[in-house]
Every structure is written in structure tokens, then in C-alpha cells.
Structure 1
Amino acid sequence: MEEFDNLTAPYSRADELMWFMQHVPGLRCGFDTGNFLYNEEDAVKNFSLFRPYIASVHCKDRTFTENTGSPCVTVANRKLYPVAVGDGNLPIEKMMRVLLDSGYTGSFAAEHFGSIEQLKCMERSAAFLKRVLGEKRG
């Protein structure tokens, strides 16, 4: 189950998603690094809370700097723009390293929802993810 960046979901905030984790035995989390910003929540703090439940990670970076992508508007009316993983405001590398150091063997998927430059973002994201994963193996 993944936190969803839309108020219509009953699991868009960390406390809502955690309710499901604590009340459904065996339920795991698909942690999306960029979705907590929608509710103006701290992704790193929530990462620490959800770490025991994480089964997969959507590496979605976001920036407050305007670009040609379609923005997601936060609950505080701030615009978040899509960028390649590693090019935005989130400490994705730090979160990945903590997971990898704890023995995590799940997946890391790049996501660029709203970008009109999908190929460019995918190439940059792949290079970023390969670098971080390569440094961990080395």
C-alpha cells in the first residue's frame, strides 16, 4: 500500500497510512519518496516511521522550482514539479543508503509523474540509481 498524493484517498497522510500498517497483519508499504510533500509532511521523518513496513520504493523526486512539467499542488497551495531522481529537493540518496545498510533487498523504481521529458528524466534517474546502488555494492 502506498501513501497517495490526493485528499480523496483515506491514506494520503502518514498517520492514515500507518493506521492500515498497524491494523492489517502482514501489510507492507510501497514507500513513495515524493508523495508526502503533497500534505507538507517530512519524507525523511516518515521514512523512519515506515522503514519496518517498506517492501518497495518509488523514487520520486520533486522540486519547488518551476519547470515545464505538470505541477502537483500541495495542501498549502505550493507547486511541486517533477524532476529526475536526484535532481530535486528530497534526500533520496540518504534514504536509499539507510535502507541498503539495513539489509533491504527490495526494488527502487524511478517515477516522474507529470514530466513532459520522460526519456531525459529516466536516463538521469537510471544513472543516479546505478551510481548509488553501485557504490553500495563496492
Structure 2
Amino acid sequence: MITLELILVTKESQFADNLSELVQEMKKTPSRTSLNLTKDLGLNNQVLLIDEDAIANQPENNLSSLRTLFPFSLQILFVEAVQKKELQNYLGWGCNALVMKTDSIKKMKKAILLTCERGFYLNDNFKTLLNMPYEEEKVNLNIKGKQPQRMN
């Protein structure tokens, strides 16, 4: 099992402190996922935990820059927004997962692990809001190629 490298992209705030605590907790008690990541696959183990406030001034440019800096990372965006257009934009700009900032630590941890397993994650509320059933979620994942790709 490969240890995930959790990278925080936040502004100084109470939420950033909470996210930092979550990272520390996950480091202390490594959780197993059903996905067996190996170095041989060329997969990067970097997971960016991004606070929506940290990219708010230019979300598209900031997310693109992060993708350039960490090309094979998974990007998990923690949002307060629940507007359909905003959420669609975030997904279109390369986010692998959207998680509510108000979710419990347990739900956030679950979202991180499921994103690592599947390469893509939306909670049921976001799926409903975006009219995205599981079958479409799988197609979206495959078409947009949001999983880290094998390095040649």
C-alpha cells in the first residue's frame, strides 16, 4: 500500500485548521483502500486538498496552475458553493472531487479515500444537483480522463 501525500492548498482560516487536523489524523491511522496503488503503475500518490477560498480570485487559472505543478495528482476541492454552474465549472477545470466544507471529518475522510479508489467522487447531494447518476459519473470519469495517467 502506498502512503498518500496529502497537500493542503488553503488560506489561513478555521477551515484550514480543521483540514490540517484531518491530514494529521489520516497520517496517524493510515486507512486501507480497495485500490492497490503501486509505484510500477506510474501513479502519483499526491492528493491536493484545495479550499475554495484559496482559489476564489481566479478559480480557473488557479486550478489549471495546480494541475500544471502537480500533473498526476488528484484534486479535491472543498466548497461552500452549491450553485450548479459553479460546480460544473470546477469539474470542467479538472477537479476530481467536490466536498462540502460543512461535512463531518468522517465524511471528508471517506471522500478522500473514495476519490483515491475511483479517481472521481461526488456526494449524493452533488450528484442530484448536477443530475449525474452513477453511470454518467463513470462515463464522465472516463471521457475527461481525470484519473492520473501512466507515465511513459
What TM-score do the two structures reach when normalised by structure 1? Answer: 0.38
If the length of structure 2 is used for normalisation, what is the TM-score? 0.35
Which protein is richer in helix relative to its size? 2
- Tell me which of the two structures has the higher relative contact order, counting C-alpha pairs closer than 8 angstroms and 6 or more residues apart: 2
